[in-house]
Structure 1
Amino acid sequence: MKAARFHGRGDIRIDEVPEPEVGPGQVKVAVDWCGICGSDLHEYLEGPLFIPPPGSPHPLTGETLPVVMGHEFAGTIAELGDGVSGMSVGDKVAVEPYLVCGKCPACAAGRYNICRTFGFVGLSGTQGGFSERCVVDQKWIHPLGDLGTDVGALVEPLAVGYHAARLSPMREGDTAVVFGAGPIGLVTIASLKARGAGQVISVEPAAARKGKAPGAGADVVLDPTEVDVTSAVRDLTGGAGADVAFECAGIDAVLAGAIASVRPGGTVVNVAIWGHEATVQMNALVASEVAVIGSLAYCEDHSDTIALLRDKKVDAGQFITGRIGLDDLVSGGFRELIDNKEENVKILVSPQEALL
């Protein structure tokens, strides 16, 4: 079968690979759509980062590059392994693309997203969503019901935003400011609104992304090239500052802006995956007793995220800005997002010509 494999920095190839075999307790998914994530772009430009390099096999898979990429995917069940129940061939499903040990203190506490040896389907081994078929354990399969598999491919990034919103101390009616209106910023905005935020402020300089923010649920959009964001947020909050801020860009100046924009005793949630060591002015935290917490991916969030989509509390379709075939992954997907990022949010990739 065809699969897109990462061979090294700037080197992704469409290879012929063996179709994976389904084992006991596993489900084979025929992939319909897989989204290109910002972390995929980081791997392409700066990696290997999460992808295990030669000589350093992943502790759970025992594998190194080349690996099949793609972790934001959905499709239909093609085959069920022995012992799998409650599912049928042909069901539409989204995949929670985790690899976890199940034994460490984090896993024992139910926080498997911070498993000490965790990995991801699409980053840590031969399985990935940029392929025709993928096999995962039943526990990572989430039924979509009547939702389309294109929307299903957005469940994973939406769950990232939902998890960040849930992890934060935001209460109903609070003001939140989201720095960055790329894919993760937009889904964070949508998740905050769905969870009852009173006012959501989006901070974004790119014209196309600014245009998407209101549709995601932003009440106010601030352009940092046109206004002093800290002053504007304080004006919008009666001088207090936002209750919580979300850093979705991975940029030092943006992190500083997030810290400066929250009220005394407020919280900054870092959602971005950084491509470099961050610089933080610690005195800015101390002076206002600002808390900074990290939010990694998701944990028990997929079902709630799917429910938001079914209840039409989030319009995920607005985030899809392109659909391409697997053969066009690099030129029509990765390079398009890198070279024209201001014009794109989420590009979906399908290995099935019939869906294009």
Structure 2
Amino acid sequence: MKAARFHARHDIRVEDVPAPALRAGTVAIDIAWCGICGTDVHEYVEGPIFVPEADSAHPLTGVKPPVTLGHEFSGTVAEIGDGVEGLAVGDAVVVEPYVVCDECIPCRLGKYHLCTRIAVVGLAGDGGGLSERIVVDPRWVHRVGDIPLDQAALIEPLAVAYHAAERSGVGSGATALVAGAGPVGLLLAAVLKGIGVKTIVSEVSAARLAQAGELADHVLNPTEVDVADRVRELTDGVGVDVAFECAGVNAVLDTVLDAVRPAGVVVNVSIWGSHASVDMQKIVLKEIDLRGTFAYVDNHAAVIALVQDGKIDLAPFITKKIALEDLVDHGLNTLIKDAESSIKILVSPTL
């Protein structure tokens, strides 16, 4: 079968590899669509990061390069191994792309997404979604019903956004600021809209602001207005109940600390490439709760229900569809050169 495999930095090849073998207690899935994540771009440009180094295997899975990439994927159940229940051949599904130890303290506490030896399918797991077929543990397989499979490929990043909202404790009728309108920031705005939260989005990119305008009550460009001042104007001088840092930029972190109300909540969503400087006086004197969020845990069922119930429309987030053979030239390189106009590029092994 065809698979896009990471060999080294700037060396991702679409190659012919043996199809994975079905084993007892596993499920084979024919891939329909796989989204290109920012993580995939970082691996291509700067890696290996989450992909193991060439001379070392992942401590849990034993995987080492070349590694099949792709962790945002949808597909159809093709085969079912002995002992698997609750799934049928032909089911439309998505996969929670984890491999965890089930032994460490986070796993035993039910926080499996914080497993101390976690591996992600498509980075350090067995196989990936940028291929024709994958074999996985049915524990991680979620049926999506009548959600179109191209849209279903966005369930994984949508779950990241949903978990961030869950971590904040925000609910219907509250106010929120999303600072940074990259793919996860935009999906977060969609989640907040879906659960009835009045949302303000801050972003410097005109293209992304236009996209955010379809989701948020207000959009702000920090190069044109003082975001914290404008947020207070929009909230009768109070500030938002919750603010989400989605840029990984210190100036943005400072802004959300200013824009949130006293005793409000700030959730850091972004993965930082450098150390952040935090003004602890703002946190102390306003009694701000500063929280982290990472990936998702037991969120897929709720996320799928939001989409099935029509509260979130994933179709507008799909900006391009390409064949697997075009992954580098028309996928990764497009995102490197023009990330602002692309939310989610989908890849299919059957185009």
TM bin, normalised by shorter chain, reads: over 0.9
Query: Per the alignment, in what secondary structure is the counterpart of residue 205 of structure 1?
Result: coil
CA apart distance, 1:222: 0.4
- Number of equivalenced pairs: 351
Structure 2 unaligned residues grouped into runs of 5+? none
- Give the Cα separation in 2 of the matches to 1:341 and 1:208: 10
Moved more, 29-38 or 187-196: 187-196
Aligned CA distance change for structure 1 residues 252 and 11 (closer, same or farther; 3 Å): farther
Which amino acid is the alignment partner of residue 17 of structure 1?
V
Q: Give the letter aligned to residue 183 of structure 1.
A: P
Q: Name 1:14's counterpart in structure 2.
A: 14
Map of 1:63-212 to 2, 5 A cutoff?
A: 63-197=63-197, 199-212=198-211
SS in 1 for 2:213: helix
Aligned-residue RMSD, C-alpha: 1.3
Pairing of 1:338-349 with structure 2 (within 5 A): 338-349=336-347
Secondary structure at the aligned position of 1:306 is classed as helix
3-state SS in 1 of match to 2:257: helix
Q: Which residue of 1 aligns with 2:302?
A: 304
Which letter maps to 2:205?
Answer: A
User: Structure 1: which amino acid aligns with 2:231?
Assistant: V
Q: CA deviation at 1:276?
A: 2.5
Preserved contact between residue 170 and residue 244 of structure 1 (Cα < 8 Å): yes
Per-residue CA distance 1:23-79 (angstroms, 9 max, x = gap): 121111100100011111222222221111133321211122221110000011111
Structure 1: 4+ residue segments shifted above 4 A: none
Q: Secondary structure at the match of 1:333?
A: helix
Quote the offset at 1:160 in angstroms: 0.6
Find the aligned partners of 1:289 and 1:324 in 2 and give their Cα distance.
48
| Equivalent runs, 1:321-336 vs 2, <5 Å | 321-336=319-334
Amino acid across the alignment from 2:340: E
- What does the per-residue CA deviation read over 1:115-174, in whole Å, with 9 as the maximum and x for residues that have no partner? 111111011134100001111100111111111110110100111111111111223211
TM-score, scaled to structure 1: 0.95
CA distance in 2: counterparts of 1:26 and 1:127, whole angstroms: 13
Change in Cα spacing, 1:19 to 1:266, as seen in structure 2 (3 Å) is: same
Cα distance 1:260–1:46, how it changes in 2: closer, same or farther (>3 A)? farther
Q: Secondary structure at the match of 1:264?
A: strand
Report % sequence identity: 53
Paired amino acid for 1:235: E
Distance (whole Å) between structure 1 residues aligned to residue 267 and residue 280 of structure 2:
15
Residue 280 of structure 1: CA displacement? Answer: 2.5
Ranges in structure 1 where 5+ consecutive residues have no aligned partner? none
Whole-angstrom distance in 2 between the partners of 1:48 and 1:328: 21
- What does residue 261 of structure 2 align with? 263
Give yes or no for contact 1:63–1:125 (8 Å, CA) kept in 2: yes
Superimposed CA distance per residue, residues 278-317 of structure 1 (whole angstroms, 9 cap, x where no aligned partner): 2323333233222211111111111111111111100100
Letter in 2 for 1:99: V
Instruction: Output the amino acid matched with 1:290.
Output: I
| Residue number in structure 2 paired with 1:283 | 281
The Cα of 1:19 is off from its aligned counterpart by 1.0
Letter of the structure 2 residue corresponding to residue 164 of structure 1: A
